[in-house]
Amino acid sequence: MAPQLPLGQVRHVTLQPWNSEEVFDMAYARSFLHLPWIQTLCAYGLFDDLDNESDSDDNELPLKHLVDYVLPLPVSTSLITELTIVGYLRSELPDFITACRSLRKLNVRVDYGLGIYGMPAQKELAEAVIKHKDSLEDLDLDISILNFPKPDPVLEETYSQLSRIRTLAVHIADFFKGAWSKGVEDCVKVVLDRIPKDIQVLKPRSHRFIESWVSTSNDVFLEPYLEGIIELLEEAGPQGRFSKLRVLDLSEAFVDDPIIQYSGEVSE
DSSP symbol at 74: P
Query: Is the CA virtual torsion 202, 140, 103, 4 positive or negative?
Result: negative
Q: Where are the domains of the chain?
A: 2-144
Alpha carbon separation from 203 to 33, 166, 200, 265 (Å, rounded): 29, 11, 10, 12
The CA distance from 14 to 44, in Å, is 8
pTM above 0.85, yes or no: no
Digits of tens for pLDDT over the chain (268 positions)?
Answer: 455 667 778 999 999 888 777 778 888 888 899 999 999 999 998 887 654 544 444 444 444 445 566 778 888 999 999 999 998 887 889 999 999 999 999 999 987 554 455 567 788 999 999 999 999 999 999 886 655 555 567 889 999 999 999 999 998 889 998 765 555 555 788 999 999 999 999 999 886 665 555 544 555 567 788 899 999 999 998 999 999 999 999 888 875 544 444 455 665 5
Q: Which candidate, 230, 261, 217, 268, places its Cα nearest to that of 247?
A: 268
Cβ–Cβ under 8 Å, residues 141 and 159: no
Helix (H) or strand (E) holding 139: strand 138-142
Task: Please state, as a whole number, how many other Cβ atoms lie within 10 Å of the Cβ of residue 153.
Answer: 17
Peptide bond into 120 cis (omega under 30): no
Task: Please state, as a whole number, how many other Cβ atoms lie within 10 Å of the Cβ of residue 1.
Answer: 6
Query: 173 Cβ partners below 8 Å, 6+ apart?
Result: 145, 148, 149, 150, 206, 209
